[in-house]
Structure 1
Amino acid sequence: MPQDMIEIIRITPFIDMISSKRQGFPAALRPSSVRTTYEAGAAIFRLGSPAHSVFFVESGAVRLMRLGRSGEEVILHDARAGEFFAEASLDSPKYHCNAVASERTELLQVPASALRELLDADREFSRQWVALLARQLRAVRTRVERLSLKSAAERVRHLLVSEGHGPHCEVTLDGTLKDLARNLGLTHEALYRTLAAMEKEGVIERRNSVLRLLR
């Protein structure tokens, strides 16, 4: 892998960051949810602690991680606004990783017991929940495919083709270019160079927070 790329183990569905029309929090869960706020660096839960809740990110970001054999951080998932996390622990007695707020973050916390009861009692909600998980799985697969591409330009083009809208595969960024670089598995310097080169070659066009594929 080129030196200007960084290998990142994370499966954030990037569509959550580039779309201003994020999938909303299911109305059926609101009565049992509690809004909580965490400052940057605060632990939401730790590996091995009792799995009591599932979480929805209203704003901010949460990093899910484990420690490798040498004590290094292995990033499993970066949960962004509009996304659930810890849903994999719904039927587990303990959490399987650490969850730490990457920045000031507002969450909706749903007790696992309440979610399980709703899944058992409400068939319509159960279908909605399955559909939500299916969307996240499709986004994960798309992201894994994108991160397997070797060049930064290929990753940018893949993003526009797979996530963009209209004849020019238009993508509107809600976050910064540093956020985009992180989600493409690149250093921000590599992304800046790549976007500049693609613009000069007439491959893409940038206008404010909008990226468009020209050819």
Structure 2
Amino acid sequence: MKGQTIYREGSPALGLYCVHSGKIKVIKVGGDDKEQIVHLGKAGEVLGLAALIARSNHLASAVALEDCVVCFVPRTSFLYLLSSNLQFCTSLLKVLADSLHKAEQGMLRLAYKPVRERLADALLLLLHTYQTTDQAQFSIAISRDDLAALVGTAKETTIRLLSEFKDKGIIASKGSQITILKPEKLVEIAALYD
């Protein structure tokens, strides 16, 4: 269900979460109670893997952005698969490597890019994560709070920059719905500091 917490930061990793359908945000809450979205989950992904393998607590929380179907694989079943299936282990290593690569890219984006470029990056990330092959134009419903948490800035700044993108014909918006009209322009903006 939209807004439901799948697992909470600081809770023990008791198993693996497999996303069957829906969109999920993985968030870290700072000392100022401000959310930062560190990952966007979608169908076909697994969540909570690093904490499960490390036998630690979750470092972030996973929350449904829309109604989702998420399957839970208990730690004992996961460990059995890990010890008995080489192909599963190899696939898992690839998932962990991809996850590490994405985390590094996210840190660099936050550290070195101005907010305007980070917003363009965030819109492209949404496009690449959630666009389906049958969509002529990509649209997504996302709250301005969630978009600001993905960009790493204030909601007001996000709204102001979205208006700028809208005025330039790069996006269209109605309520929480954002439609990307010119992804190539977002690529240009996002690449200014690469």
**TM-score, with structure 2 as normaliser:** 0.61
**By percentage of residues, which structure has more helix?**
2
Per-residue CA deviation, residues 67-108 of structure 1 (Å, 9 max, x unaligned), is 85xx95776856633343221232455534574646665321
Q: Which amino acid aligns with 1:143?
A: G
Q: Which amino acid aligns with 1:141?
A: E
Match for residue 128 of structure 1 among 91, 100, 114: 91
Structure 1's unaligned 5+ residue stretches are: 1-37, 166-170
1:176 is the counterpart of 2:142? yes
1:192 aligns with 159
1:144 is the counterpart of 2:107? yes
Residues 160 and 213 in structure 1, CA contact (< 8 A), matched pair in contact too: no
1:213 is the counterpart of 2:184? yes
Please state how far the C-alpha of 1:147 moved relative to its aligned partner.
Answer: 1.4
Structure 2's unaligned 5+ residue stretches are: 129-136, 173-177, 189-194
Change (3 A) 1:153 1:48: closer
1:23 aligns with none
Larger Rg: 1
Map 1:77-116 → 2, pairs under 5 A: 77=38, 80-82=41-43, 83-93=45-55, 95-96=57-58, 99=61, 101=63, 105-116=68-79
Q: Which amino acid aligns with 1:213?
A: E
RMSD of aligned residue pairs (Cα, Å):
4.0
**CA distance in structure 1 between the aligned counterparts of 2:170 and 2:33, rounded to whole angstroms:** 39
Give the stretch that moved more between structures: 106-115 or 93-102. Answer: 93-102
